Amino acid sequence: MWTLSGFVDEISADFTEQCRVASDLGLKYVELRSAWGVNILDLDADRRAVMIDTLAAHGLAVSSIGSPIGKILIDEPFAPHLDRMRHAAEVAREFGAPYIRIFSFFLRPGADPAAQREQVIDRMRALTRVAEDADLIVLHENEKEIYGDVPGRCLDIVRSVGSPHLRLAWDPANFVQVGVRPYTDGYAVLRPYVEYVQIKDALSADGTVVTAGNGDGEVAQTIRALSHDGFDGFFSLEPHLGTAFATGGFSGPAHFRQAWRDFTDLLTGEGIEFA
């Protein structure tokens, strides 16, 4: 039984509306990135308390904190960002989320990734130590324009850090947008470390984001292989069908529902049960 979740801030800025639509779709989990237009790490304790009550009222739990940790340039100061990671761990514990999504730092245009490798690995180790101390798992997402945007460097990060508290979040659309065929080029090497899957697809011709199965993200092949391998984790809808920006994306209720339908149709076609 696979478990569906979703970046519900793609539905609406209003948190009650986010939860209402997610619940109506039958979701039992959500991924928290923002509410009322404010990033989850910047909401005060009173607002977070309202969110916790609203989640409970709709029968929803939290699969992951969709944090922006690691979405700074590799040569920007790290100490304040590490403090922000500690806060992210506190927020995850508060919401009962087992995972925090992170990134491996933007590189400046034209920079050689190899020249930045040592600093990236050092920073990723430091972020992972925070997760270890909090008994959480950080999920590295293969965002475009960061160090870990292609399979080889994703593998380098997770192997070099060498902690069970650092795993991978697989995003097929992001792979497509950097010229990678996700299943063909990445599945075999990354599968041992993949613990979370983000559901969006994209066209290789121009990077346009589309719903699962309607792009070049090899989503059907990937879920078929995951099913064969006995994968038992979260699949988080991140449609990006309206707008996309540095800290997230927006789809609206109708597009979010369409993303849910297209992905669940794929699962049904493969005979995969989900909840």
Model pLDDT, residue 85: 98
Model pLDDT, residue 262: 98
How far is residue 26 from each of residues 69, 231, 275, measured CA to CA in Å?
Answer: 29, 21, 7
Based on the number of CB atoms within 10 Å of its own CB, is 184 exposed (0-12), middle (13-18) or buried (19 or more)? Answer: exposed
Q: Is the CB of residue 148 less than 8 Å from the CB of residue 142? A: yes
Based on the number of CB atoms within 10 Å of its own CB, is 15 exposed (0-12), middle (13-18) or buried (19 or more)? Answer: buried
- The residue with tokens 């245009």 is 109
163 vs 121: CA distance, rounded Å: 12
CB-CB neighbours of 165 under 10 Å: 17
160 vs 57: CA distance, rounded Å: 42
Model pLDDT, residue 174: 98
Model pLDDT, residue 248: 83
Q: What does pTM read for this prediction?
A: 0.97
Give the CB-side neighbour count of residue 189, counting CA atoms within 13 A. Answer: 14
Show the tokens assigned to 261. Answer: 């339908």
Model pLDDT, residue 247: 72
pLDDT along the chain (275 residues), means of 10: 96 98 98 98 98 98 98 98 98 98 97 98 98 98 98 98 98 98 98 98 97 98 97 96 80 95 97 95
- The CA angle 138-235-107, to the nearest 5 degrees, is 45
Model pLDDT, residue 15: 98
247 vs 17: CA distance, rounded Å: 20
Model pLDDT, residue 93: 98
